[in-house]
A and B are shown apart, each in its own frame.
Chain A
Amino acid sequence: MSKNILEMRNISKVFGDVVANKHINLSVSYGQIHAIVGENGAGKTTLMNILYGLYAPTTGDLIYKDEILQNMTPALAVKKGIGMVHQHFMLIPPLTVYENIILGAEPTIKKTGVLDKKRALEKIKEMSRKYSLDIDPLALVENLSVGEQQRVEILKVLYRSAELIILDEPTAVLTPQEVDKLFEILKLMRNDGKTIILITHKLKEVLAISGEITVIRRGEVITSLETKELNKTKAPENELANYMVGRPVLLRVKKTEAKPGNDVMRLKNLTVNDNRGIKKVDNVSFNVASGEIVGIAGVDGNGQTELIEAMTGLRPPIEGELSINGKNMTFTTSREFFDAGAAHIPEDRHKHGLILEMQNNDNFILGKQWLSPYQTAGFLNYRAINKMSDELIKNYDIRPDTYKVKARNLSGGNQQKLIVAREMTRQPKFLIASQPTRGVDIGAIEFIHKKIVAARDGGCGVLLVSAELSEILSLSDRILIMFDGKIVKEFVNKGITEKEIGVYMMGSGA
């Protein structure tokens, strides 16, 4: 019997124009925590989706426990003992926890097809106890916190007696302390004989918990090695980053000392509710001066989204005062935000930043369509619009290099560059950049970071919101930490460590 529970041989996957996986060979040993590492868009999730049967591979074989698996489907994967906890939770909010857990593997009363609720609840309670996953099985999933929802996802997998468990970016939405708790759970599972595949791009976590590592870059396997070998080197994180990116990566952007001037943005007493009426931003006040980058650090979901939505006119607050460049905002429309000399790189480019179905030129004027020369007397001047589009495409190296292509056909990095180009050319005095490099390849990340620093050097005041601590530490002059809707701590960015910030992100240390 091979020492590998899983072998994926020569796997390739093509989506239309895009080659997501190219001749991938992967071996996972029994009872290991195997990390699959790579940047966003490298092809890790696609590979695991193939393993779990969500996609069919264009070529290649899956060998699980020395058996070749054909025509993989999720049902077959589950039957064989493979379970997956997805990056975006696969839960059904209006149903209860136990209904979500048993879906697809429901216990029924004899053969009648009637649900056996008692048996289901018993089994779930037992699993919860064994792996210390506390949850109320009768609660509605839509009422749970993110951490609790993740526990439901893990219970789903364990309920089906999975032996090989795949976790796709599980820590993206957790605080450092919640990550530790998760890792304890994973170690319990590993010691119980389970094999775990961890997909992540967080280098520290890989070095802390995994036993084996496979690095994927641009759809191909770069290398496979044992973690303990890597930990023997002088700077294991840098080694790993090198493998991921293929060249020495500056984990910090070079920038000069900040010289802040007058305030370009003043925020007072902002309180914002979400769609369900729950308070997400709780009496927040802070200012941003020209020539400085203020970074808001915090785990996704602590109110950052609602904060930015309120400031940019996308969500009316319960109360608050905001002035941009001295102009008071009424929070009713995004137009007054732009007209005051501000710019906004939104956190979700598909939701807010672009119209995927329209061409690049139409996307370049989003939020600018009332400005001349693009518009006169209600008519759009496409000659001016197209000229501007061509210029920006050239200056920001956007590919494909034509304004006639629909935004949906651009890669994530190019889409983001389009938005950055559009917003930077407002020559704003105040810029909000929210998750500006999420889902973007490393070349584009460097480009965007340079532009943000350049804006700041030109006198712009930048408010940066990011879930990537390294990005916050790299760019910010001042750091604000947001927890549970409040600003709990402010640091000047000199010699601060991630651990210190993590403590405040979790709400302690106040």
Chain B
Amino acid sequence: MNSKTKNILVELAFSVLAIIISFMIGAIVILFIKGNPLEVFGTMFSGAFGSLSNFADTLEYATPLMFTGMAVAFAFRAGLFNIGAEGQLYAAAFAVAVVGFMLKLPPFLHITVVILTALIVGGLWAYVPGVLKAKLGVHEVITTIMMNYIALDLTNYLTMRNVFKQPGQIPQTKDILHSAQFGTMTFLSKYTHLNSGIIIAVVVAVIVYFVIARMKLGYEIKVTGYNSNAAAYGGINNKNKLIIAMVISGAIAGLAGAEQVAGVMHHFVSPFPVGIGFMGIAVALLGKNDPFGVIAAALLFGALSAGGTQVDTMTTVPREVIDIIQAIIILFVASEVFLRKLIVQRIKQRKYRKMLEQSNLEQLDV
């Protein structure tokens, strides 16, 4: 087994450990509120995988997370914290809704326009924090969080304008035309909202992989993220790379908005479902900022979501129990680097102490 495979297995082991521990803590919380952990976890599992329609739910909840996870992961490669996936997807989602009902185009063209709109608007929403960071050094965590709230308020305002609003009580936009909708996979289950967005997600993952691993742009973004001084030395324009990375990140997050509007709801509603952007951070972390890892992590979180819905309806335990589990996973994965170094270092120190005592100095490389 070469060292690269060994590394991947170790990473996997830690992720699995994180999941197990968070479930254990979830169990403790469930016990505390007088629930039955086994019943809850069982319901969760069946809610996620128990039937074809449940599995479709898992995939459906996972899809937007694939996008936001990849968005956050991409930004991380440049050393940027994109906490703004939430706002980026709102803005894009609204734009998609408008483009979806205002334009009359043949289906293929309409979908292309939908996708392009999401990419552009999402990218634009991330452009502002990107530029502020690149040109003025303003930390993107704060600016992206601010942009989230601005997106929330702006889309809320726009949704209520008569030109966009669906007549009636509910604050939502007019339904998008059929030609703009992502096809739903009703062959899996009659009531599912799982749509072709998931295929787009996988395609995006492949593209992102190639950009990061094989393209000069990906290399330069990585160098910028690891060491901006070395990047400057190496002829890389750090400022541009930061902006490009943020815009690409925002564009991918925008696709989450497109999927939700064009694939699931077929209109924009205010307030839009909250948390997809934040959860993207957890997914990126668990997926180790690698596009395929993100897909896997998104599937896990999608399963948790689907399971959570079932738990909410079938047991006395509220769905928020999955928030707890997800939070613990994040904390554990975030601590992982240190824990791993600690364990490895302890093993090595013990080995060398023994060698020194035996004065087996030939083996030491000094």
Question: Are A and B interaction partners?
Answer: yes
Seen from chain A, the residues whose Cβ lies within 8 Å of a Cβ on chain B are: 12, 14, 16-19, 22-23, 58-59, 218-219, 312, 314, 333-335, 338, 344, 346, 351-358, 362, 365-367, 369-370, 375, 378-380, 382
Q: Please, which residues of chain B bring their CB within 8 A of the CB of A358?
A: 222-223, 226
Q: Are A354 and B230 in contact (CB under 8 A)?
A: yes
Q: In the docked arrangement, what's the CA distance between A56 and B119, Å?
A: 54
Q: Are A375 and B216 in contact (CB under 8 A)?
A: yes
B51 within 8 A of A: no
Q: Kindly report which residue of chain A lies nearest to residue B341, judged by CB atoms.
A: A16
Q: Kindly report which residue of chain B lies nearest to residue A314, judged by CB atoms.
A: B232
Q: Kindly report which residue of chain B lies nearest to residue A344, judged by CB atoms.
A: B233
Q: In the docked arrangement, what's the CA distance between A59 and B223, Å?
A: 40
For B219-236 the 0/1 string (1 means CB < 8 A from A) is 110110011011011110
Interface size in chain B (residues, C-beta < 8 A): 28
Q: Please, which residues of chain B bring their CB within 8 A of the CB of A355?
A: 222-223, 226-227, 230
Q: In the docked arrangement, what's the CA distance between A290 and B226, Å?
A: 36
B8 within 8 A of A: no
Which of A14, A218, A219 counts the most B-chain CB atoms under 10 A from its CB?
A14
Q: In the docked arrangement, what's the CA distance between A19 and B356, Å?
A: 10
- Beyond A22-B361, A58-B356, A366-B223, whether A333 also contacts B217 by CB under 8 A is no
Q: Give chain B nearest CB distance to A440 CB in angstroms.
A: 16
Closest 9 pairs (CB-CB, A-B): A335-B235, A352-B233, A367-B234, A366-B234, A14-B352, A351-B229, A357-B226, A355-B226, A334-B235
Some 21 contacts from A to B, beta carbons below 8 A apart, are A12-B356, A19-B352, A58-B349, A59-B357, A219-B366, A314-B232, A314-B233, A333-B235, A334-B232, A334-B234, A334-B235, A354-B230, A355-B223, A355-B226, A356-B226, A357-B227, A369-B216, A369-B220, A369-B235, A380-B214, A380-B216
Q: Are A362 and B219 in contact (CB under 8 A)?
A: yes
Q: Please, which residues of chain A bring their CB within 8 A of the CB of B366?
A: 18-19, 22, 218-219
B362 within 8 A of A: no
B215 within 8 A of A: yes
Q: Please, which residues of chain A bring their CB within 8 A of the CB of B215?
A: 378-380
Q: Are B237 and A333 in contact (CB under 8 A)?
A: yes
Instruction: Name B225-269 residues within 8 Å CB distance of A.
Output: 226-227, 229-230, 232-235, 237
Q: Which of B237, B353, B365 is A58 in contact with, Cβ under 8 Å?
A: B353
Q: Please, which residues of chain B bring their CB within 8 A of the CB of A362?
A: 219, 223
Q: Are A19 and B232 in contact (CB under 8 A)?
A: no
Q: In the docked arrangement, what's the CA distance between A117 and B185, Å?
A: 75
Q: Are A378 and B217 in contact (CB under 8 A)?
A: yes
Q: Are A19 and B364 in contact (CB under 8 A)?
A: yes
- Beyond A22-B361, A380-B214, A380-B219, whether A369 also contacts B234 by CB under 8 A is yes
Q: Please, which residues of chain B bring their CB within 8 A of the CB of A356?
A: 226-227
B335 within 8 A of A: no
Q: Please, which residues of chain A bring their CB within 8 A of the CB of B229?
A: 351-352
B313 within 8 A of A: no
Q: Please, which residues of chain B bring their CB within 8 A of the CB of A346?
A: 233
Q: In the docked arrangement, what's the CA distance between A333 and B357, Å?
A: 54
Q: In the docked arrangement, what's the CA distance between A366 and B228, Å?
A: 12
Q: In the docked arrangement, what's the CA distance between A353 and B234, Å?
A: 8
Q: Give chain A nearest CB distance to B12 CB in angstroms.
A: 20
Q: Kindly report which residue of chain A lies nearest to residue B211, judged by CB atoms.
A: A378
Q: Which of A335, A338, A369 is B219 in contact with, Cβ under 8 Å?
A: A369
Which of A19, A23, A346 counts the most B-chain CB atoms under 10 A from its CB?
A19
Q: In the docked arrangement, what's the CA distance between A17 and B344, Å?
A: 11
Q: Please, which residues of chain B bring their CB within 8 A of the CB of A59?
A: 353, 356-357
Q: Give chain B nearest CB distance to A371 CB in angstroms.
A: 10
Q: Are B235 and A370 in contact (CB under 8 A)?
A: yes
B34 within 8 A of A: no
Which of A218, A346, A358 counts the most B-chain CB atoms under 10 A from its CB?
A358
Q: Please, which residues of chain A bring their CB within 8 A of the CB of B365?
A: 17, 19
Q: In the docked arrangement, what's the CA distance between A352 and B215, Å?
A: 22
Q: Which of B226, B233, B237, B349 is A14 in contact with, Cβ under 8 Å?
A: B349
Q: Which of A16, A17, A312, A351 is B230 in contact with, Cβ under 8 Å?
A: A351
B6 within 8 A of A: no
B112 within 8 A of A: no
Q: Which of B216, B233, B348, B349 is A370 in contact with, Cβ under 8 Å?
A: B216
Which of B215, B229, B237 counts the most A-chain CB atoms under 10 A from its CB?
B229
Q: Give chain B nearest CB distance to A326 CB in angstroms.
A: 20
Q: Give chain B nearest CB distance to A406 CB in angstroms.
A: 11
Q: Which of B216, B233, B345, B353 is A16 in contact with, Cβ under 8 Å?
A: B345
Which of B222, B223, B233, B237 counts the most A-chain CB atoms under 10 A from its CB?
B233
Q: Are B356 and A366 in contact (CB under 8 A)?
A: no
Q: In the docked arrangement, what's the CA distance between A58 and B353, Å?
A: 7
Q: A59-B356, A312-B233, A355-B223 are in contact. List 14 more A-B contacts (CB 8 A).
A: A14-B352, A16-B349, A18-B366, A23-B356, A314-B232, A314-B233, A334-B232, A334-B234, A334-B235, A353-B233, A355-B227, A356-B226, A358-B226, A366-B233
Q: Give chain B nearest CB distance to A233 CB in angstroms.
A: 29
Q: Give chain A nearest CB distance to B212 CB in angstroms.
A: 11
Q: Give chain B nearest CB distance to A14 CB in angstroms.
A: 4
Q: Are A14 and B356 in contact (CB under 8 A)?
A: yes
Q: Give chain A nearest CB distance to B234 CB in angstroms.
A: 4
Q: Give chain A nearest CB distance to B213 CB in angstroms.
A: 9
Q: Please, which residues of chain B bring their CB within 8 A of the CB of A354?
A: 227, 230
Q: In the docked arrangement, what's the CA distance between A356 and B230, Å?
A: 10
Q: In the docked arrangement, what's the CA distance between A462 and B125, Å?
A: 48
Q: Please, which residues of chain A bring their CB within 8 A of the CB of B222?
A: 355, 358
Q: In the docked arrangement, what's the CA distance between A346 and B232, Å?
A: 12
Q: Please, which residues of chain A bring their CB within 8 A of the CB of B219?
A: 362, 365, 369, 380
Q: In the docked arrangement, what's the CA distance between A312 and B235, Å?
A: 10
Q: Give chain B nearest CB distance to A312 CB in angstroms.
A: 8
Q: Are A379 and B356 in contact (CB under 8 A)?
A: no
Q: Kindly report which residue of chain B lies nearest to residue A219, judged by CB atoms.
A: B366
Q: In the docked arrangement, what's the CA distance between A366 and B237, Å?
A: 13
Q: Kindly report which residue of chain B lies nearest to residue A333, judged by CB atoms.
A: B235
Q: Kindly report which residue of chain A lies nearest to residue B357, judged by CB atoms.
A: A59
Q: Are A353 and B352 in contact (CB under 8 A)?
A: no
Which of B215, B216, B222 counts the most A-chain CB atoms under 10 A from its CB?
B216
Q: Kindly report which residue of chain B lies nearest to residue A400, judged by CB atoms.
A: B365
Q: Kindly report which residue of chain B lies nearest to residue A332, judged by CB atoms.
A: B237
Q: In the docked arrangement, what's the CA distance between A346 and B227, Å?
A: 14
Q: Give chain B nearest CB distance to A93 CB in angstroms.
A: 18
Q: In the docked arrangement, what's the CA distance between A312 and B237, Å?
A: 14
Q: Are A352 and B230 in contact (CB under 8 A)?
A: yes
Q: In the docked arrangement, what's the CA distance between A314 and B238, Å?
A: 11
Q: Please, which residues of chain B bring their CB within 8 A of the CB of A380?
A: 214-216, 219
Q: Please, which residues of chain A bring their CB within 8 A of the CB of B226?
A: 355-358
Q: In the docked arrangement, what's the CA distance between A351 and B232, Å?
A: 10
Q: Kindly report which residue of chain B lies nearest to residue A337, judged by CB atoms.
A: B235
Q: In the docked arrangement, what's the CA distance between A449 and B3, Å?
A: 36
Instruction: Name B315-356 residues within 8 Å CB distance of A.
Output: 345, 348-349, 352-353, 356
Which of A18, A346, A366 counts the most B-chain CB atoms under 10 A from its CB?
A366
Q: Give chain A nearest CB distance to B335 CB in angstroms.
A: 19
Q: Are B234 and A379 in contact (CB under 8 A)?
A: no
Q: Kindly report which residue of chain B lies nearest to residue A363, judged by CB atoms.
A: B230
Which of B217, B223, B353 counts the most A-chain CB atoms under 10 A from its CB?
B223
Q: Kindly report which residue of chain B lies nearest to residue A12, judged by CB atoms.
A: B356
Q: Please, which residues of chain B bring their CB within 8 A of the CB of A19?
A: 352, 356, 364-366
Q: Kindly report which residue of chain B lies nearest to residue A357, judged by CB atoms.
A: B226
Q: Give chain B nearest CB distance to A330 CB in angstroms.
A: 13
